[in-house]
């Protein structure tokens, strides 16, 4: 059993102030797309945001929490999500990654036994915002936050991390799009074009 944690705490400066979580594609917001996909695998979904009033319309039983270390970026969000989660095992994803797929999430959760984290690495690039983190990461993360070291990957050397390569991802998700995120209007146009070329399968 596991929880899905969605980080929705960015300032959205490069998106001209638009909240990326509520950008819509295929008739659903990016946030609802991630909630739907995570619910296929996870018993609980936690949304981390410092503007909880904007999220009152979410489906029932979605847990909303805010940073315990404000202003520390995604690492602070991961910390808040892990602290709020009811489960030891957690899949963390940024709200602006619209193509996360349940088969990959499920596979990564299964790989977590004996590790503190499971992190994809494609073309020598780590994907720390589409990764599995257990509650055992909390002390490592807290230590980093207390030292004002807010880069996610900097706590990895102290933890037991299982890295997932491209060969292991193929067949579970489209490597060319699953790790795409939306930071700028140009990114958003790219995502829309990819979606139009390959729309969603039906999500039950």
The domain made up of 2-197 has a fold known as: Spore Coat Polysaccharide Biosynthesis Protein SpsA; Chain A (3.90.550)
Lowest mean pLDDT among 24-28, 66-70, 118-122, 134-138: 24-28
Q: Give the pLDDT score at 150.
A: 93
| Element holding 83 (H helix, E strand) | helix 73-84
CA distance 47 to 188: 22
| Contact (CB, 8 A) for 131 and 90 | no
Percent of the chain with pLDDT over 90: 68
Q: Give the pLDDT score at 204.
A: 32
Measure the CA angle with vertex 149, ends 73 and 13; round to 5°: 25
Q: Where are the domains of the chain?
A: 2-197
Residue 12 has pLDDT above 90, yes or no: no
């Amino acid at each position: 059993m596991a929880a899905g944690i969605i980080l929705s705490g960015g300032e959205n400066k490069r998106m001209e102030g638009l909240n990326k979580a509520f950008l819509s594609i295929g008739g659903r917001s990016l946030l609802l797309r991630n909630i739907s996909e995570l619910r296929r695998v996870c018993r609980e979904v936690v949304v981390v945001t410092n503007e909880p009033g904007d999220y009152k319309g979410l489906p029932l039983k979605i847990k909303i929490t805010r940073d315990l270390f404000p202003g520390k970026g995604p690492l602070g969000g991961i910390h808040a999500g892990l602290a709020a989660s009811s489960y030891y095992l957690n899949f963390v994803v940024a709200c602006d990654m619209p193509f996360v797929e349940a088969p990959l999430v499920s596979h990564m959760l299964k790989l977590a036994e004996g590790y503190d984290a499971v992190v994809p690495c494609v073309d020598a690039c780590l994907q720390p915002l589409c990764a599995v983190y257990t509650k055992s990461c909390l002390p490592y993360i807290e230590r980093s936050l207390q030292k004002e070291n807010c880069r996610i990957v900097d706590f990895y050397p102290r933890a037991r991390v299982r890295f997932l390569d491209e060969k292991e991802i193929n067949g579970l998700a489209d490597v060319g799009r699953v790790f795409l995120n939306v930071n700028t209007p140009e990114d958003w146009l790219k995502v829309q074009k990819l979606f139009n070329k390959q729309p969603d399968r039906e999500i039950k």
